[in-house]
Amino acid sequence: MSAYVAAKQAEIIRSHQKDDFYTGGIQSALSEIVQTSFGPRIWINWRHEIDLLADLGYFVLTTVSGYQTLGEEYVNILQVNSSHRVIPSRMRRVAMVLLQILTPYLLHRILNWLETEMRQNRALNITPRGRDSAISLIKGIRSSLTFLHRCHLAVFYMSGVFYHFSKRFTGIHYLLVRPGMQNSKRPSYKVLGWLSVIQLSFSVLQQAIKALQETRKASKTENASSVGSVSKVSVPETSMDPQRKCALCLETRQNSTATPCGHLFCWDCIVEWCTMKPQCPLCRETSELSRLIILKNFDQN
6-49: pLDDT as tens digits: 888 889 999 999 999 999 999 989 988 998 898 877 888 888 89
- DSSP symbol at 288: -
Distances (CA, A) of 55 to 17, 25, 159: 14, 10, 27
The top-scoring range by mean pLDDT among 98-112, 123-137, 186-200 is: 98-112
Give the whole-angstrom CA distance, residue 253 versus residue 264. 8
Per residue in 141-197, pLDDT tens? 888 888 898 899 999 998 888 999 999 999 999 999 876 655 566 667 888 888 888
> For the residues 118-140, what does the mean pLDDT come to?
75
Give the whole-angstrom CA distance, residue 79 versus residue 97. 13
Determine if the pTM surpasses 0.75: no
Does residue 223 carry a pLDDT above 70? Answer: no
From 164, 152, 149, select the one nearest 63 (Cα to Cα).
Answer: 164
> For the residues 86-112, what does the mean pLDDT come to?
92
At 201, is the secondary structure helix, strand, or coil? helix
E strand residue ranges, the chain: 5-6, 77-80, 173-176, 256-258, 264-266, 293-294
Question: Treating both helix axes as pointing N-terminal to C-terminal, what angle do 267-276 and 40-59 enclose, rounded to 10 degrees?
Answer: 70
Give the whole-angstrom CA distance, residue 276 versus residue 272. 7
| pLDDT tier at 235, thresholds 50, 70, 90 | very low
From 7, 149, 3, select the one nearest 72 (Cα to Cα).
Answer: 7
Residues 239, 242, 247, 250, Cα dihedral to 10°: 10
For residue 61, the model assigns a pLDDT of 95
Give the whole-angstrom CA distance, residue 192 versus residue 190. 5
Indicate the average pLDDT of the chain. Answer: 82
**Size (the chain), residues:** 301
Amino acid letter for position 89: S
**pLDDT top residue among 131 and 108:** 108
For residue 226, the model assigns a pLDDT of 57
Q: 245-300 is classed in which CATH architecture? A: 2-Layer Sandwich (3.30)
For residue 68, the model assigns a pLDDT of 93
Per residue in 42-98, pLDDT tens? 888 888 899 999 999 999 999 999 999 999 999 999 999 988 888 999 999 999 999
> For the residues 109-130, what does the mean pLDDT come to?
75
For residue 52, the model assigns a pLDDT of 94
Burial class of residue 237, CB neighbours in 10 A (0-12, 13-18, 19+): exposed
| pLDDT tier at 288, thresholds 50, 70, 90 | confident
Helix (H) or strand (E) holding 197: helix 190-225
Give the whole-angstrom CA distance, residue 84 versus residue 26. 32
CB crowding 242-274: b at 16 or more within 10 Å, else e: eeebbbbbeebbbbbbbbeeebbbbbebbebbb
| pLDDT tier at 225, thresholds 50, 70, 90 | low
CB crowding 57-79: b at 16 or more within 10 Å, else e: ebbeebbeeeebbebbebbbbbb
| pLDDT tier at 230, thresholds 50, 70, 90 | very low
Tell me where in the chain the CATH 3.30.40.10 domain(s) lie. 245-300
For residue 184, the model assigns a pLDDT of 61
Give the whole-angstrom CA distance, residue 183 versus residue 283. 62
